[in-house]
Amino acid sequence: MKWLFIVFSFLYLVPVCYAQERIESSNYRIQFPNLNSGAGIPSSSNYKLDSTVGQGVAGKFTSAGYIAKAGFQYIHSIIPFSFSIDDLQINFGTLTPNSPSTDTSTLTVSAGGAGGYSVKVSENFPLNTSDGGDTIIDTLCDTTCSETSATVWSSASKYGFGFNMSGDDIPADFTDATYFRQFADRSSAETEKTIMTSGNVGTSRTATISYKINVSSVQPAGVYRNVLTFTAIPSY
């Protein structure tokens, strides 16, 4: 069984006021002028417009410790952030030694924040039996792969559990369908790793994660399981 955890990360900025020059004559004095000529949300049956006209200070302002994006709907997402996985429970059934089994899930992300998004994944521990007595190792592929680097895994005599990625915004080391990684193992103090990321706004960014498992003839019989945690993070 797998569980889906989605973590939302938001940035809150304290408004900052900027003083302007004083405007005055012999008849009047205006201090800190900011005269807006229009604002609101006009709409009709065909459109809806969120507007501000006459903003005195607009733009992106940065310094050590903060970023302020101000004025004229500088950041106003029309794409709500969403993340989904089409299959939350992967069951490989009865495994045959030296005959790899595979299954897939489809990940879909929509992100409208100016900073894009990322999706990370990790496992709570390698596949093992309920009493923890027997384990199916994380794959080393045909040579050596890891949670950060995919390599070819095509040999039926190489054992373990791993995954491949294809589709939008995936890491470049997934060259084709033969390249696999291990899942980052939190029980070994490995941190979750990015499997989708983009700095762009987009809707329905879709990737397929392909799970693969292969066991030897001496692998003890039993029911093996673990939990994969997917973390989707929007960036504003």
Confidence of residue 48 (pLDDT cuts 50, 70, 90): confident
Architecture of domain 82-234: Sandwich (2.60)
pLDDT at position 51: 66
Residues 162, 167, 169: CA angle, nearest 5 degrees: 95
For the chain, the average pLDDT equals 85
Predicted TM-score (pTM) of the model is 0.71
| Three-class SS state of 188 | helix
Rg of the chain, C-alpha, whole Å = 26
- Sequence ranges of the domains in the chain: 23-70, 82-234
User: For 167-222, how does the pLDDT look when each residue is reduced to its tens digit (9 = 90+)?
Assistant: 999 999 999 999 999 999 999 999 999 999 999 888 999 999 999 999 999 999 99
**Distance between CA 214 and CA 148 in Å, rounded?**
20
Q: Are 85 and 103 in contact (CB under 8 A)?
A: no
Q: Could you say which DSSP state residue 37 is in? A: -
User: For 93-133, how does the pLDDT look when each residue is reduced to its tens digit (9 = 90+)?
Assistant: 999 999 999 999 999 999 987 788 999 999 999 999 999 89
